[in-house]
Chain A
């Protein structure tokens, strides 16, 4: 929200330092409300159906694959000896990584007073929640006896046994479930004022009732705002360490083991950077088409895209550093197994995985150094997809390449996924896009109340302040 205004005289900002406004074309508060609400209130566009129907089909495919896998056994996947984890864990880590941008944008950037976040945080948070749902499927179903998943929770059982608190998989259970819970809360709290706005605008009884129910009787009173701001700040504070902890802990699944290529202390920061990298990649992939489909160019401006490209570039550089550092450490450690692993990673039978990872994650983001490229939305969109692909391969390289050739050459064996692996992965896209499309159709996908706070006219010292007057 707006900063506290100072009563002292404000020095005039030199022209070259004036930032581009976060909402372009001096749009009014009313326009913003109308524009964002139009997506939920207007007729369902044809493109929405064109996207929703295939997504729903893929969701059905996911259901079929889950039935097939649970009813038959993990053997329907390509997992094998010695690659006991394959696409299941690759996709789990990949989706969890994607689920990082949302909370990072909403929590960390909020605490750092990065106002540009307001245009993208709602959609990014929704993306986070749906991505974590997709991710959560995998650890739940990849075990051999799904019906005993609850043994991973610290519930006393008839066996009189607790889970093993030394196992990183145990930590995963806590990390992911906490992250999911807090992310949902954070997202929902942020939605309350906007739900109230939709309630007020609603024309049908049902909508009025539902939005009324979910907006918890929000009136926009000062007291409400004051409580809301406090709650939001506390949740932001809670979410911030979670952003760092979730992927750190996921990385410990590997780092705590003793496999060459897995047992690495660099993993926690490197995984977090990679997660933010892939999360921003996915945000770009989603928002660039959405902003034009929903005519939100004035709210999600090129400046937003530009900033996100810069974050992607920065995190891309961090992961590149990690990639190189892993090789240097392997050489420096003098450990024959480590050295072999990294030679095998780059030159072994699965060299293509490493090449994909390096080119998509290390080379492609370097194009974001150029402003022309950052401003070309088509190019940015294509590059963001490369980032998503590259990050998938990063997980593939870590999980599969780490496993298929380890200590005893007698058990080395090549890994290939099956059609069920592929269809299950496609199915999670179905779940993700179905949920995302439903979200953008029925809920405000831009944080309306927040964005109004960062418009030029919301600043009391702005020359046009007061022309449209206060808040809605």
Chain B
């Protein structure tokens, strides 16, 4: 926006003018006139997303952005609009502004800082001020900003279900709600049912109490397809009072995860990652590491990072839990019968011994999908281990509404519900199949829905209200530990949405409807401080200090656990009794992010599949069932069945079928529809997420899956280097010892421009260090990079063609014990087979996994620079390998010569082509295509910059873009820039700050690349390598520091810190890291041919011991 918006006449004169056609067009008279005059075009005038409408919205938000923190009453823009002629305080045109807010999650909220340009929020970061926070976030928070600009979000008030859908005006909709309020005020809420999702919003809780007081007959129900409430329910039962457990992974020396993916798919994973990896950061061999045992059926992020991993079917995890409990001397119920587990008893006993040894510093966690009894047993184990109050804190928590969907269904079936209000949630898609929800819901006389999308549930509702994005609404939340955080809007609701607070207040006929004032009242009542200053500080800091929930001490009520154990029965799965594990997807969650292209295209952290879910099986299961990758099968439990393609997942438990929920959406939007297969039909109220007695039937056809990493093995190459703690202690230089033994050449093959001291900056030399010991492979960095750098998505078909555009990728390699390999036999060697053949190899049964973030290495002697014929990729004086988009003609030679293959090429015009035009064998050309009912060639003639996107999409896409980063056109190569826009901004700021002093060196830590900032583990560190005190220099000093493909002598500015595993030598599965074994097979033992004579012999010994 180059021009300031027109002053708001309404404010200046006090008289009512309409501000645009839209405002006028809302009046019924004008509508009628329009339809009479222009029957064909009347839609154009009332289209809510026309370009004109956007200009209006942006003007409004532009003015709002300048108002400052205190008075941002976004919800009622007409109250607050200011003429731009009076320049708002603290607003500099073109300079980003930052506001603290939070993204609500199931078990709390993620405190955020939102970056806003001219009223458009464009990037979200974690709030570094938040106690214990480091600025890291998770995938969902990074991607949630894309939802704000989703052209498929609900943009209208709609009434009439099914075919009689009609658009309603906002006033009609509020009239309807007011009518409901009057009706229920009269009968105390008789017949009103409110279905909500789990939140931890104190304001909503306060409203609920008020509504219960006012309408005592109204019923509240909660439902969430991912039932994270089980933690509080289990703890409350086990400890006999209403408490919620908080896991302090940072205090634990030994952690046992029982099917609990706390680093991956569990809620609050980003904070668990931070806490867990704080104990994996080592600087010297003397440092201690924590130890993680993982018992699981799926291969999860947690399993990838475990020191010991036991793969058992999910339904056997309860037996393992019981066995551990028995081993620890816990006597509850009939433990022995439950503990009847088929797994290695030595594994169990040694694990239990290790837990016992670190009593007080041990922690046992159970996954969200496991039955309640497992959670209760874990509580008993944790108490036995002395974890309560140390590694496991119990906090006072208000009792949750435990009345769920089953009760609501019964109530509906009895005909007791007159009006059903659904706030968020999508039960038509994700309710357990046995409730037959779509039909059950219709039994309510009126269904009102407040939803972000007009989705499966929305289209079945009689009234649909568009919900606001959290960046558009006032609300509050409690973070996981109970700390109060504000949710403040960054922009006026783009499509006139309604917040849940306003919706509830109106529905119940409460007097205060303004969400801003509702939240302020809650804040004042919780903190006891109603002052403006306290409120402003709350908004500024993004949290209320000291508002965390109180920890309480409690002890396990063993009778409850005993009773539960008594009822439990163990199952054995096998070929004829397959187990189905339904799990929250790493990308689309329970389906709510299905229309988010960034998430859809993010490779799954473990499978690296994009745009789909699959039926994950182990190699053995696949062989027994006679199926192979991509083959579509029908999985049935009784008469409930789902279909999906088979994907062989290394490290999966045998006879277990893993399927992510949230895919196969029927009505998600143009991105989400057609992605994956719906697994919800297998979810039932009886069996929950883990069901047995499943059957598989082959359907005889194949379904293509787009996987971004087709080769699983590292081939014994020293790419990710790792050792056990013992090996690290005897050979702290193990990473360097794995360098190629002889360099092929003394000097690099390509010139190093920085050899010339004149070209080398003496102020800054940028570098990065990535600690593989703390990177868990979550993928938040990939999305942060995508958001920061305007990286487009390409769609499933092009991912299959290897054309994904993410500048950063997480390479995930599976490795196997050397015993599984047959390197010596050339003709049997899987290396030379096709990548698809890996799925049949036995070595994939028991694998370890390693992750490596891979991005442009910013080589000093860069192979890419030398081969570019037009000088489009060059070196700058500060060590950046710079890509000049303007100059690039697109020969792609640079990518061919890049040994790290980190360059990304715009094969097609991804920004100008919608996803629908990026499919199939024939891409539309301007000759044969039209957009917005206009021939593309004509459009092109009129405006060469026009693409194949409709104006509606364009307007939203443009709002999302980071104005500091060029949007690349087709035919141009792109790659990681080290977030050069952030570097330059910091340098300029430092120059201004330096003034006369001349101190223009940017201090360490000021510049954070997007990936670094998003990393919850702090595994990525960027900085000035000229400063010996900088964090990056310190890391590069470590002995674990190494260069990938060192023998090429490209001198990358990115180095990696080798991974150190900490397995327990007493365990039966103790080995050297498998990657180490593979390396040794191909290259010999690095400890025997090292340069250090003293250590060479002991090295061999250690390794023998390891094997």
Interface residues of A (CB under 8 A from B): 67-68, 71-76, 78-85, 142-146, 148-149, 151-152, 159, 161-164, 166-170, 173, 253, 256-259, 333-336, 340, 343-344, 347-349, 403, 405-414, 418-419
Q: Is B827 an interface residue (CB 8 A)?
A: yes
What is the interface of chain B mostly: helix, strand, loop, or mixed?
loop
Contact present for B890 and A161 (CB under 8 Å): no
Which of B803, B812, B869, B900 has the most A CB atoms < 10 Å from its CB?
B869
Contact present for A344 and B972 (CB under 8 Å): no
Contact present for A408 and B904 (CB under 8 Å): no
**A104–B732 alpha-carbon span in the complex (Å):** 62
**What 0/1 pattern do residues 885 to 922 of B give for CB contact below 8 A with A?**
01111111101110111001111110000000000010
In the bound complex, residues from chain B placing their C-beta under 8 Å from that of A405 are 711
Contact present for A145 and B905 (CB under 8 Å): no
Q: 15 additional contacts, CB 8 Å, given A145-B972, A407-B900?
A: A67-B927, A74-B970, A75-B908, A144-B888, A144-B891, A145-B970, A149-B889, A164-B871, A336-B1082, A405-B711, A410-B809, A410-B813, A411-B901, A412-B710, A414-B835
Contact of A82 with B802 at beta-carbon distance under 8 Å, contacts A152-B889, A169-B891 already known: yes
Contact present for B891 and A75 (CB under 8 Å): no
Contact present for A143 and B891 (CB under 8 Å): yes
The distance from the CB of A131 to the nearest CB of chain B, in whole angstroms, is: 22
The distance from the CB of A154 to the nearest CB of chain B, in whole angstroms, is: 11
Contact of A409 with B869 at beta-carbon distance under 8 Å, contacts A75-B908, A79-B907, A148-B889 already known: no
Q: Which chain B residues in 1073-1095 approach chain A with CB under 8 Å?
A: 1082-1083
In the bound complex, residues from chain B placing their C-beta under 8 Å from that of A340 are 715, 831
**A168–B925 alpha-carbon span in the complex (Å):** 33
Q: List 12 A-B contacts (CB under 8 A).
A: A73-B971, A75-B907, A84-B896, A144-B890, A144-B971, A161-B871, A161-B887, A256-B866, A258-B750, A347-B826, A405-B711, A418-B921
Contact present for B892 and A410 (CB under 8 Å): no
Contact of A413 among B750, B802, B973 (CB under 8 A): B802
The distance from the CB of A81 to the nearest CB of chain B, in whole angstroms, is: 4
In the bound complex, residues from chain B placing their C-beta under 8 Å from that of A253 are 893
**What 0/1 pattern do residues 949 to 971 of B give for CB contact below 8 A with A?**
00000000000000000000111
Contact of A143 with B833 at beta-carbon distance under 8 Å, contacts A71-B927, A74-B907, A259-B896 already known: no
Q: Is B120 an interface residue (CB 8 A)?
A: no
Q: Is B923 an interface residue (CB 8 A)?
A: yes
Residue of chain A at shortest CB distance from B873: A164
Contact present for B867 and A256 (CB under 8 Å): yes
Contact of A344 among B713, B832, B852, B896 (CB under 8 A): B832
Residue of chain A at shortest CB distance from B898: A82
Contact present for B895 and A84 (CB under 8 Å): yes
In the bound complex, residues from chain A placing their C-beta under 8 Å from that of B866 are 164, 166-167, 256
**A313–B926 alpha-carbon span in the complex (Å):** 50
Contact present for A79 and B892 (CB under 8 Å): yes
Contact present for A167 and B867 (CB under 8 Å): yes
Contact present for B714 and A409 (CB under 8 Å): yes
The distance from the CB of A252 to the nearest CB of chain B, in whole angstroms, is: 10
Q: Is B1066 an interface residue (CB 8 A)?
A: no
- Top 6 nearest A-B pairs (CB, nearest first) are A144-B971, A144-B890, A75-B907, A410-B811, A75-B908, A84-B892
Residue of chain A at shortest CB distance from B936: A71
The distance from the CB of A77 to the nearest CB of chain B, in whole angstroms, is: 8
The distance from the CB of A214 to the nearest CB of chain B, in whole angstroms, is: 36
Contact of B921 among A84, A148, A344, A419 (CB under 8 A): A419
In the bound complex, residues from chain B placing their C-beta under 8 Å from that of A403 are 896
Contact present for A143 and B868 (CB under 8 Å): no
In the bound complex, residues from chain A placing their C-beta under 8 Å from that of B834 are 349, 414
Contact present for A408 and B803 (CB under 8 Å): no
**A253–B899 alpha-carbon span in the complex (Å):** 16
Residue of chain B at shortest CB distance from A173: B869
Contact present for B869 and A164 (CB under 8 Å): yes
Contact present for B893 and A169 (CB under 8 Å): yes
Contact of A163 with B870 at beta-carbon distance under 8 Å, contacts A73-B907, A80-B803 already known: yes
In the bound complex, residues from chain A placing their C-beta under 8 Å from that of B833 are 349
Q: Is B174 an interface residue (CB 8 A)?
A: no
Which of A145, A340, A407, A410 has the most B CB atoms < 10 Å from its CB?
A410
**A409–B711 alpha-carbon span in the complex (Å):** 6
Q: Is B798 an interface residue (CB 8 A)?
A: yes
Residue of chain A at shortest CB distance from B897: A257
In the bound complex, residues from chain B placing their C-beta under 8 Å from that of A67 are 925, 927
**A168–B886 alpha-carbon span in the complex (Å):** 21
Q: Is B49 an interface residue (CB 8 A)?
A: no
**What 0/1 pattern do residues 334 to 359 of B give for CB contact below 8 A with A?**
00000000000000000000000000
Contact present for A82 and B971 (CB under 8 Å): no
**A73–B809 alpha-carbon span in the complex (Å):** 24
Contact of B870 among A80, A164, A409, A418 (CB under 8 A): A164
Residue of chain A at shortest CB distance from B940: A71
Q: Which chain B residues in 3-29 approach chain A with CB under 8 Å?
A: none
Contact present for A343 and B749 (CB under 8 Å): no
In the bound complex, residues from chain A placing their C-beta under 8 Å from that of B887 are 151, 159, 161
In the bound complex, residues from chain B placing their C-beta under 8 Å from that of A256 are 866-867
